[in-house]
A and B are shown apart, each in its own frame.
Chain A
Amino acid sequence: MDHLSEKEKQTMRDLQDSLTADPFPLKTYTHIGKRGPRRLDGLPKASGKADYTMDVQLPGMLHMRFIDSPYPHAKIISMDTREAEQLPGVRYMLRFDNPELPERASMGKVSGLYGDPPPLSGIAHFEGEPMGAAVAAESEEIAEKALELIRIEWEPRPFNLDIIKAMEKDAPLSYPEMYPDSNYWNNGLFDVLTQGDVKKGFAKSEKVIEFEFVRRGHTWIGPERPCGVFQWKGDCPEVWVKQQRPHLVKKNLSTWYGGVPMNKIQLHCLYQGASFGGWVQVPWNMGPLYCAGFVAKKTGRPVKYVFTRREDFYGGSMDGGTYRFKVGFNKDGTILAVEGTSICENQIWPVFNPMNHLKESTRIPHLSGKCVSIWVNKGPTVPTRCEQLPTTLSLTAIFSRVAAECGLDPIEVALRNDGEEGHDMAHLNKKKKKLGFAVIDSLKECVDKGKAAMDWDKKWHPPGTQKLPNGRMHGLGFTWTNEWDDSLGSSEMAIRIERNDGTASILAMGCDNGVDAENTYCRIAADELGFRLEDVHYNPQVDTGFFRMSPDSSTNMSINGWAVRHAARILKKQILEAAVGPTAKTQRGSFRPAFPDCKPEDLDIIESVIIKKSDPADRIKVADFVREAGQSGPLTSTESGGFRWAFTEPLFAYSYHVQVGSYNPVNPRPHMTRQAHFLEIEVDTETGEIHIIKVVNVNDVGKAINPMSCEGQQYGGSIMGLSRGKFEEMIYDPATGVLLNGNLLDYKIATTLDVDAPIDTILVESGMGYGPYGSVGIGEDVGTVMTGLIGPAVHNAIGVWINDHPITPDKILKALGK
């Protein structure tokens, strides 16, 4: 155990090592950083064997459906459900005014900003809101038919769709129950960010520009729709739910129905048909589950609900709104001051200031940012892929405008302004050194690699100047920012050595949402234990009682990676200590006396074999060491036939990692790694179409523990980001507030033909992350940052700014005066 010093043991104890560089990385890596086909979820997913909550069926299961509000804002005055209740096959009618329903229940709130809505509301605040009543019936067909038989007298209320109008004094109230005074979130409290003095900055600037743009709200579109199944086994609930956060479900569930002890809840979070954070964080998200449990109790039957595709459209990402900026800069591209306001609709956490990334990753001395959230009668908006969307959109817009105004290459402007909290790179470099990191110019590395891949210098041209032989205009776009993750969460994970064959099982409930995280944990555990990769397995769908972050709260490797590494290191120590022990460690059995003359530090484990370092031929397989625990199981009586089965002490270790750093202003850590993205397009000026020609993503992930999974986040994020930038928006009828495109034909997500360009994925490994081995997250980054990149690329092509996103053909034609 030579890599485990006293100091490291101490570190493991206080678990506070993610505020500095990883002090104890491994010297060599066997599985970490390797490409390879192993995906724990690969075979089940490709062969259709992976089970999702949508697929769950239980004997006697009832199907539950909800009324969807036809109005954007309305109250139920009276509701006649008699006819529906009489329909054969209807088993339970749960009405919002059922006296047994609590007025409020803990509905999975994250921050409580919405208050805690009741599980089933009698008032709708957006069209399509599932509310009013839930019908449980023998089939979905019958439930649907029953809904049609419910007669409701509505009191439609005035509503808002437009944030700017909703800000006006005499605007109707959008959410009067929660916000009785105005449509401003928290009645006008904004998130404000200030650094320096923007007035001074503008005065010093050679040039000052002002601009505004609109981003239309869009949504997540999880391929598997929100759903769950609830059944009671006596007083123990057994629950299946599509939920990115099992721990949160369990915690909330324990407070329902008068309280359910945590140890009686059996929860299954199967494979997740992705939710990108979206659905998971809405306080309404657990309302249907609450109702299912309620009805399951009343009927004695398992109850399943599946939202319709349209019902899944009830929320959106946090970027829908109007953005206003004033920027002061010098002609060489040095930015001196930025003042920015984002006015966004229904942000559940309006604390993600448009200036955040400018503060974190630039030397711009003077910043002033305000984030305003306005309530309108649309669904709530929550971080979708990431809440950094508004701020990265802002950064992209500001930097590309400045570059265009100065007639400079945007890459030059980025390099010129790279820094941290108003200070230059020298300042950041000092911090890198102090925290134990190598001093590497991350942006420069990213940019150099990306430029080469894009052949940037050859292709770059001033805006609107490059007409191609095919008649289209050629455009290039560039953006950058820091690479981010968060450790705003905690994690506990355990590893157990199976007694009969010495394989290792990682234990912790989480959820698989497709980022191949489980495989990554296995790589870490295998390398740390000295095991073969195939000897480490992890099934996160089993509730072992341990909860890891699941990748959610923007937190995956940066927390779980540590937890699994700590556990593996402790476990390795346990194994080696047992290996040098004398026999009869426990009363009833013993490990083999494998290396009785050695000390633990004389040994190592390589490829699942314990070896003596001084004489590697002296070896025993871990499997042989732990050996069989008896054919009829370890519990066979030791007396039978006077024969003793070997039954050894369990080899098991757990560890945990507590919340440390955060990109919230609460506990900031300087961001040292960067990402840079390059986009090449052609614009058809006759039809307004944008053709994607090439994409280059460069991410400094510090250390790529599972490179193929990082690349998946790059091309996957690029495609999602470009789809958002080109197509995605939720379209409402202005007169009635009805969502017009709540289906997958009218709400457009890119097909394989829409982004069929080559996507070069480049990983830089500077080691400057706070995660284990110097890693930093990537899952949220690319999908978020790429969303805004269409804008500058289109400007470079046609020489005109389009201030309304997504950039659809009609807007391009309009900008061209056609």
Chain B
Amino acid sequence: MKDFIHFNAYSIDEAVALLSRYGGNAEIIAGGTDLLGKMKDRILPSYPEALINIKTIPGLDQIEEKEGMISIGALVTLSCVAEHPVIQKTCTALAQAASRTASPHLRNMGTLAGNICQDIRCWYYRAPQNRFSCLRKGGGRCYAIKGDNRYHSIFGGSVKGGCFAVHPSDTAPALIALNARIITSKQSISADTFFNVGVTHTTVLANDEIITAIQIPAPAPDTRSTFQKFALRKSIDFPIVNCAVAVTEKNGSIAHARLCLNAVSVVPRRAVKTEEVLTGNKIDETVAEEAAMAAVADAKPMEGNAYMIPVTRAIVKRTILACRENHGG
């Protein structure tokens, strides 16, 4: 790796101060599983001048339950999330999502906060030595549109209408389905509005803003949530499609549903129409099928990724069906 300056931050304030001092040329490093890969391959035209390690900040690695809220510190690893009994029970979709992310080793290293802040995986963008200076690097064109786009968005592009890179996070849809809030050094943001794509960013975070915790409100009684992932290999691989759903039942039918897809569009995608189909119904094959159809109703595939539509439909359906009462989920 190229040279950089390394800081261990001992408080949020210190980390923020360093970030603002470097004005965009410094990066936070948590687990490093995403960041170091990017640096090793030198995918970006610029290279961070400094890394600010936040693992030295005390207290950020806790999972706490308080005031009807589960609060997950920014340094909590994916394996801790996956194995936490309360999260498994009340926020099942998140535990399942965390347990299906990357590989066991990477889950021991990667943090939940890092997972939602991770960069895109478009293979043009990630080609070593900044081989393709595409829209996302401030360049003039998207190479995926006419190139190999088998893993790109089926729901249209972002930046200047052009970038079709999907958001790769496995935990993001679960957090959105569970109505989580992202607590930063500046503000509290709902997971719904946290993701935002631009030339150099995938979230709404400012250059000098740090996630300190992720909070999930304790779900209403009779709420169940599940997560499913489709990837080529059963481990290591990023999702091609993933889906999380949380449903709250009242008197035997769904009073409230939140369903979120990811890896199929430029940011995690709340499937509002699907939620509408579910609301007021009982989960069965027909409803799930109809809901799944609604999830892909406005998909616009590119040349290489039409297969993602039936896959998405199947995954949405299965996620919903897995949420049936006797499915445990």
- On whether A and B touch (CB less than 8 Å), the answer reads yes
Interface residues of A (CB under 8 A from B): 70, 141, 144-145, 310, 684, 686-689, 727, 731-736, 738, 740-741, 745-746, 748, 750-754, 808-810, 813-814, 818
> In the assembly, what is the distance between CA of A745 and CA of B124, in Å?
14
Asked, given contacts A733-B124, A748-B233, whether A141 binds B143 with beta carbons under 8 Å apart, the answer is no
- CB distance A735 to B143 under 8 Å? yes
Name the B residues within 8 Å of A144 (CB-CB): 2
- CB distance A740 to B311 under 8 Å? no
> In the assembly, what is the distance between CA of A180 and CA of B99, in Å?
55
- CB distance B237 to A686 under 8 Å? no
> In the assembly, what is the distance between CA of A141 and CA of B127, in Å?
19
- CB distance B307 to A814 under 8 Å? yes
- CB distance B230 to A687 under 8 Å? yes
* CB contact list, B206-243 vs A, under 8 A: 230, 232-238
Q: Which residue of A lies closest to B128 (CB)?
A: A310
Q: B85 at interface (Cβ–Cβ under 8 A)?
A: no
Q: B25 at interface (Cβ–Cβ under 8 A)?
A: no
- CB distance A751 to B123 under 8 Å? no
- CB distance A740 to B235 under 8 Å? no
- CB distance B129 to A70 under 8 Å? yes
What number of A-B contacts does a CB cutoff of 8 Å give?
Answer: 80
- CB distance A687 to B315 under 8 Å? yes
**Centre residue among B127, B129, B131, B313 by max chain A CB count within 10 A:** B127
Main SS class of interface, A: loop
- CB distance A145 to B236 under 8 Å? no
> In the assembly, what is the distance between CA of A750 and CA of B150, in Å?
20
Q: B68 at interface (Cβ–Cβ under 8 A)?
A: no
Partner of A745, one of B234, B237, B315: B237
- Given A141-B1, A808-B232, 20 more contacts at CB 8 Å? A141-B2, A144-B2, A686-B311, A686-B313, A687-B314, A688-B307, A731-B148, A733-B147, A733-B148, A736-B132, A736-B143, A741-B123, A745-B238, A751-B235, A754-B235, A810-B307, A813-B310, A813-B311, A818-B307, A818-B310
Q: B146 at interface (Cβ–Cβ under 8 A)?
A: yes
**Distance to closest chain A CB from B150 (angstroms):** 7
Name the A residues within 8 Å of B146 (CB-CB): 734-735
- CB distance B150 to A810 under 8 Å? yes
Q: Which residue of A lies closest to B230 (CB)?
A: A687
Between A and B, 19 residue pairs with Cβ closer than 8 Å are A70-B131, A687-B311, A687-B314, A687-B315, A732-B148, A735-B143, A735-B146, A735-B147, A738-B127, A738-B131, A740-B123, A751-B236, A754-B235, A808-B232, A809-B232, A810-B150, A810-B306, A813-B311, A818-B307
- CB distance A740 to B127 under 8 Å? yes
- CB distance B147 to A754 under 8 Å? no
- CB distance A740 to B232 under 8 Å? no
- CB distance B307 to A809 under 8 Å? yes
Name the A residues within 8 Å of B150 (CB-CB): 810
**Centre residue among A144, A727, A813 by max chain B CB count within 10 A:** A813
Q: Which residue of A lies closest to B150 (CB)?
A: A810
**Distance to closest chain A CB from B43 (angstroms):** 11
Which 7 residue pairs spanning A and B have beta carbons closest together?
A: A810-B307, A686-B314, A753-B234, A818-B310, A740-B123, A751-B235, A813-B307
Partner of B311, one of A310, A752, A809: A809
> In the assembly, what is the distance between CA of A688 and CA of B2, in Å?
42
Name the B residues within 8 Å of A145 (CB-CB): 2
**Distance to closest chain B CB from A411 (angstroms):** 31
**Distance to closest chain A CB from B235 (angstroms):** 5
- CB distance A733 to B310 under 8 Å? no
> In the assembly, what is the distance between CA of A777 and CA of B233, in Å?
32
Partner of B143, one of A733, A753, A754, A813: A733
Name the A residues within 8 Å of B310 (CB-CB): 686-688, 813, 818
Name the B residues within 8 Å of A814 (CB-CB): 307
- CB distance B232 to A727 under 8 Å? yes
Name the B residues within 8 Å of A751 (CB-CB): 233-236
**Distance to closest chain B CB from A39 (angstroms):** 27
Q: Which residue of A lies closest to B123 (CB)?
A: A740
**Centre residue among A684, A740, A751 by max chain B CB count within 10 A:** A740
- CB distance A740 to B307 under 8 Å? no
> In the assembly, what is the distance between CA of A750 and CA of B232, in Å?
10
> In the assembly, what is the distance between CA of A732 and CA of B147, in Å?
9
- CB distance A734 to B232 under 8 Å? no
Name the B residues within 8 Å of A731 (CB-CB): 148
> In the assembly, what is the distance between CA of A686 and CA of B318, in Å?
10
Q: Which residue of A lies closest to B236 (CB)?
A: A751
Name the B residues within 8 Å of A141 (CB-CB): 1-3
**Distance to closest chain B CB from A667 (angstroms):** 43
**Distance to closest chain B CB from A683 (angstroms):** 13
**Distance to closest chain A CB from B232 (angstroms):** 6
**Distance to closest chain B CB from A729 (angstroms):** 11
Name the A residues within 8 Å of B315 (CB-CB): 687
**Distance to closest chain A CB from B81 (angstroms):** 20
- CB distance A754 to B234 under 8 Å? yes
Name the A residues within 8 Å of B235 (CB-CB): 751-754
- CB distance B314 to A740 under 8 Å? no
Name the A residues within 8 Å of B3 (CB-CB): 141
* CB contact list, B70-98 vs A, under 8 A: none
> In the assembly, what is the distance between CA of A70 and CA of B130, in Å?
11
> In the assembly, what is the distance between CA of A560 and CA of B313, in Å?
57
Name the A residues within 8 Å of B317 (CB-CB): 686
**Distance to closest chain B CB from A465 (angstroms):** 22
Q: Which residue of A lies closest to B3 (CB)?
A: A141
Name the A residues within 8 Å of B306 (CB-CB): 810
> In the assembly, what is the distance between CA of A751 and CA of B143, in Å?
30
> In the assembly, what is the distance between CA of A3 and CA of B325, in Å?
76
> In the assembly, what is the distance between CA of A16 and CA of B314, in Å?
63
- CB distance A734 to B147 under 8 Å? yes
